[in-house]
Each structure stands twice: as C-alpha cells, then as structure tokens.
Amino acid sequence: MGLIAVSRNRRMTDYLESIRRAGGEPVEVGGDEAPAAIVARVGGVLLAGGGDVDPSHYGEAPHARFEAAEPGRDAFEIALVQAALAANVPLLAICRGMQVVNVAGGGTLVQDIPSEVPGALTHAIAEPRFAIAHEVWVAKGSRLWTIMAEQLDGESLQVNSRHHQAVKRIADGFEVTATAPDGVIEAMERPASRFCLAVQWHPENFWRTGEFRPLFEHFVQAVRGG
C-alpha cells in the first residue's frame, strides 16, 4: 500500500525521480484502470503537469488560448481526485494537477493569466526547467510553511513557473497557502485531509539540487502513515 500513483503525462522522469529520491515508490497510472481501484491499491496519488482542464468542467466556454490535455485525461484525473479525497489518501498535485484538484472540488480557473490578470508577472519560463521565475509568499502556519521552514527566506520561496492558468475561485474546504506578488494563487491545501497539498510551480524539476525535497519527503511520509 506504499505505492504512489503518478497520473500518466508527457514528462514522467522528474516526477518519478523526485518520489524515488524521497524514498517513495512510484507507479504510473492512466485511464485504463478505474480511479476507485487505483486508490484502493496505492498509498498516495500524485497529479502532474500538462495541458488545460476543459472549462466545460466548470461551466465556462474556452478562452482563445485553450490548449487541451490528452483525450480522456480530464475525466480520469477529476475522478481520481474525488476518489482520493473520499478515501483520505494523501494527494500531491503539481501545476495542472492543482487546477484539476480545484475543478474536481467545484472551483474555477483563471483561463489565461496574461489576458485576465492586470500587471501579472511572467509565469511562463520554459527553459531551463528549474529557472527561477518569481517568488511566492507562503501563508504562515500552513502545512506548506511547516514543510518548507528551512528553505523559507522570511515568508518567501523562489519558484519556477510554466503555467498560463491558475486557481480563481478556490474549491470548498481548501485554503490558499501561497500567492505570487501579482496575486496569482500558487499553492493550496485541504486542512481536513491527512495530506492534500497542491502547488502551481514545478518542484519535481529540482531533484538534482534538492530545494523542494522536503515536499516530497513529507508526502512520502504521509503515504507511509506518518
């Protein structure tokens, strides 16, 4: 039961490596298996980056810059999140994963930051993948704050950024736990869950240097029941 299900995506390597370096055992999962069956056989779920969640899932028409994810991935991952939350299985969600969690919980998204957020910072620096794009301000006392205590500079963390969407109306039961200086939501968590944390940046790209290893270590610890 100590396995961590990683939802299949185009860039698996860094997610798998980050989990392994934190002492966890990842397993790839996809839409060929029922979400409830997956949740029953693993100890944790990681949702990775990718294309946009189809806005029909939160009752909106697509923005001109909408870029669809792989066919079937939205429905599969939304169901996977709902199954994980229902079973109180630890959940770590990254980038698109955070947006999926929010939509699965009934929230909405900013569909295109450059056209919808006045004065927005640059949230899309593609290469190198660990390039620092902006800082985030972490909410004091949050789980993220506790986990990243030793890496925090005051209340700030330096993060990479490769997203043009973000959480808008946050899902019920979740709290915002990090924001960028332009107000874009960069992390959220669900206090009622054993471990349910989502970040908008890509901590998995730092496995070589370890800046976000504590995030994966605490996730793996929660998966083990700690």
x/- track of binding to Mn ion for residues 200-219 (CB under 5 A):
--------------------
Closest CA to 90 of 179, 19, 180: 19
Q: How many residues does the chain have?
A: 226
Measured in degrees and rounded to the nearest 5, phi and psi for residue 199 equal -130, 150
Tell me which stretch binds Mn ion (CB under 5 A): 90-98, 108-116, 149-157, 160-168: 160-168
Binding-site residue total for Mn ion (CB under 5 A)? Answer: 2
Contacts of 32 (CB under 8 A, 6+ apart): none
Q: Which of 145-153, 159-167, 188-196, 217-225 is the region at the interface with Mn ion (rule: CB under 5 A)?
A: 159-167
Which residue lies nearer to Mn ion by CB, 110 or 223? Answer: 110
Cis peptide leading into 181, omega within 30 of 0? no
Phi, psi at residue 192, to the nearest 5°? -75, -15
- Residues 14, 29, 77, 123: which binds Mn ion (CB under 5 A)? 123
Which of residues 98 and 147 has its CB atom nearest to Mn ion in the complex? Answer: 98
| Active-site annotation, residues | 95, 202, 204
> From the list 142, 160, 161, 193, which residue makes contact with Mn ion (rule: CB under 5 A)?
161
Alpha-carbon distance of 150 to 171, in angstroms, equals 29
Q: For binding to Mn ion (CB under 5 A), which residues are involved?
A: 123, 161
